């Protein structure tokens, strides 16, 4: 599967952005999808994940209550709605697929990656 993320940009603290990740392939609904992020000088960290059907989601404690992951299988797209953004949310955000288990939190458990979209939150 090929993934392409978009929607990043520059936003003031407290603002919102919605990231999108479009995927190729006819088996999109069979994939658990996830968002990760990587700030300069830091390791790639888990943000959120969603089941193939979209019925189950799991988000990191650092973004809980502010970020929401969703998907539209008819459009082969996964979304990350980010509200109440903070400067510490500044990072390159990546969508990922291909984990063999639910709620895999480590980046190396995913086989497919989008190219990343940059989010900058100014204070």
Structure tokens at 80: 């990350």
DSSP assignment string, 54-111:
SS-EEE-TTTTTTEEEEEETTTTEEEEEE-S--GGG-EEEEEEE--SSTT--SGGG--
Find the farthest-apart pair of alpha carbons in the chain and give their distance in angstroms, rounded: 42
Q: What pLDDT, in 10s, does the model give residues 12-65? A: 999 999 999 999 877 888 889 999 999 999 999 999 999 999 999 999 999 999
pLDDT at 28: 85
pLDDT at 112: 93
Structure tokens at 13: 């603290």
């Amino acid at each position: 599967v090929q993934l392409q993320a978009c929607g990043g940009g520059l936003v003031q603290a407290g603002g919102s952005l919605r990231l999108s990740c479009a995927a190729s392939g006819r088996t999109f609904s069979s994939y658990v999808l996830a968002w990760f992020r990587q700030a300069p000088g830091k390791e790639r960290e888990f943000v959120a994940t969603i089941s193939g059907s979209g019925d189950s989601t799991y988000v990191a404690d650092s973004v809980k209550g502010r970020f929401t992951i969703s998907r539209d299988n008819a459009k082969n797209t996964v979304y990350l709605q980010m509200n109440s953004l903070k400067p510490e949310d500044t990072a390159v955000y990546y969508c990922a697929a291909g984990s063999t288990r639910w709620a895999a939190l480590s980046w190396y458990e995913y086989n497919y990656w989008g190219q990343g979209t940059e989010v900058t939150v100014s204070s």
